[in-house]
Amino acid sequence: MNSSRPYLMRAIYEWIVDNEMTPYLLVNAEHPHVVVPLEHVNNGKIILNVAPTAVQNLDMVAEEVSFSARFGGKPMHVSVPVSTVLAIYARENGRGMVFNDDEDRSPDEPAKEKPRSGGPQLRVVK
């Protein structure tokens, strides 16, 4: 079965933009295939503004989110595997969706053990 994450991300993105808000992605920047500006990574995470006015050539496909943007005035191509997107939400009110690693596993796969440390948390306000 295909992962639901890219479909949900595209739907939430469209809903945020249709409501004239700013879509943000929270990404696990520690994954080896993540290409983001490292100077903006904080505690292994990065928040990316993916508003139509902030990026060019945004592409949210089954396996990857990619776009071009400027960071500190320097152009950069950003690429993140869909599995590294931890959340998509509106900057203005925090509404959106948080993803976890267990969402895309099949019912017969065991759940991953949750880490015990109290790392950074994202709270989505409804």
pLDDT tens, residue by residue, 9-61: 999 999 999 999 999 999 999 999 999 999 999 999 999 999 999 999 999 99
Averaged confidence pLDDT in the chain: 86
> Does the pLDDT at position 115 exceed 70?
no
What is the value of pTM for the model shown?
0.81
Task: Specify the pLDDT at position 121.
Answer: 45
Taken in order of first residue, the domains within the chain and their CATH numbers are 5-98 (2.30.30.220)
Task: Specify the pLDDT at position 33.
Answer: 96
Task: Specify the pLDDT at position 2.
Answer: 87
Three-state DSSP string of the chain: CCCCHHHHHHHHHHHHHHCCCCEEEEEECCCCCCECCHHHCECCEEEEECCCCCCEEEEECCCEEEEEEEECCEEEEEEEEHHHEEEEEECCCCCEEECCCCCCCCCCCCCCCCCCCCCCCCCCCC
pLDDT tens, residue by residue, 53-107: 999 999 999 999 999 999 999 999 999 999 999 999 999 999 999 998 655 544 4
Confidence of residue 1 (pLDDT cuts 50, 70, 90): confident
